[in-house]
A = this chain, B = another copy of it.
Amino acid sequence: MISALVYADEAAVGYDDLSAARQAAGTTWVHVAEATDEEIAAVQSAFDLHPLAIEDLRGDVRAKTEEFQTYTFVLLNALSLSPGETSFEKVVATRPVGIFIGTDWVVTLGTGPAGPVQRVMDAAERGDERLLQRGPDFTACRAVDVIVDAYFDLLDEIETDIEEIEDEVTVSTDSETIENINEVRRDLLSFRKQVWPAREAVGVLARGDPQEVQPQTEKYFRDIYDHLVQLVDLTETYRDLVSGARDIYLNTVSQSTNEVMKTLTVVATIFIPLTFVAGVYGMNFAGGPYNMPELSWRYGYPAAMLVMGLIAAVMLVHFRRRDYL
């Protein structure tokens, strides 16, 4: 999956041989997607790349910009969200892409599946994008740009999750909800872990520190840097939103307990006194004029029922006023 392109005399020509491509006059771009170990070794020897940089492409390494003797090495992680076990669990998959910027060549090396950089290469091969005539640093800038642009899609997905959760928290007391909230928090943590170092790495390029970055390209890197600053900002804002959603959820749960307590209180405080009254007239006192004469009154029973009804009515009014019903 090695693509090699040399731009010279206002035309871009594809090459099969890497050494030839490097030595050809003009600006050379070599891109490898889903690089195998052999391909990496071939590119490494053709462009004399440092073993430490190559090793970084294999592990779970933070984005960085490192200046070597003859080139500048930019490591970025292309990100994609793949669904996890639960609906809000996302796995942030990282595919490291190494960008080596030389004086008249640029190498982009990806070990994962072909991503946005491949599409730029395809367009360049078709002649749709005139990157190479603006120099290897501009080509690298474009590669960085498409990787960072994809971050926004990822953050959009997370935002959709947050919106879903914000709708959920006002009505649900399921303990699943708080687990969902935690999943999104986790996603944001993973995302932030990637964006922070990316911002630093691009910042170095935007300041034009490496000699391979020409003054007129700095502005374009600064533009990407602005995007990364915005991404970091958004991540922080989303963290705040998630913790706001958590507050609302906890309040919903606590409101629900409150509601349950009110139901119990209303029913119990109305019927317990009534049951007491009924209990009184169930007593078996007998044997004298002072022992429960009301039991034998003509309207004793209706009167007792009326009294109980009144008690209940008064309580209901009281509870409605205190907003328990």
Residues of A that sit less than 8 Å from B by CB:
50, 52, 60-62, 64, 66, 170, 173, 175, 178-179, 182, 185-186, 189, 193, 219-220, 222-223, 226, 229-230, 233, 237, 240-241, 244, 246-248, 250-258, 260-265, 267-269, 271-276, 278-288, 290-292, 295-302, 304-305, 324
Contact = CB atoms under 8 A, between A and B. Distances in A.
Given A178-B248, A278-B280, A282-B283, 7 more contacts: A50-B219, A274-B279, A279-B279, A280-B305, A284-B284, A284-B292, A290-B298
Contact of A219 (B52, B189, B278, B300): B52
Nearest to A75: B226
A58 to B, nearest CB: 13
A279 B281 CA distance: 9
Contact of A301 (B64, B247, B283, B300): B283
Which 8 residue pairs are nearest across A and B when measured between Cβ atoms?
A278-B279, A287-B296, A281-B283, A267-B269, A264-B265, A282-B282, A285-B301, A291-B301
Contacts of A254: 250, 253-254, 257
A281 to B, nearest CB: 4
Copies of this chain held together in the complex: 5
Nearest to A223: B52
Contacts of A246: 247
A264 B269 contact: yes
Contacts of A60: 230
Contact of A271 (B255, B276, B281): B276
Contact of A253 (B237, B255, B276, B286): B255
A300 B291 CA distance: 7
Nearest to A196: B233
A56 B45 CA distance: 42
B283 A278 contact: yes
Contacts of A296: 285-288
Contacts of A175: 170, 248, 251-252, 255
B279 A287 contact: no
Nearest to A238: B189
A305 B283 CA distance: 11
Contacts of A185: 240, 244
A272 B265 CA distance: 12
Contact of A258 (B52, B66, B237, B260): B260
Nearest to A61: B226
A24 to B, nearest CB: 30
Contacts of A291: 295, 298, 300-301
A252 B323 CA distance: 14
Which among A230, A247, A252 has the highest number of chain B CB atoms within 10 Å? A247
A40 B88 CA distance: 44
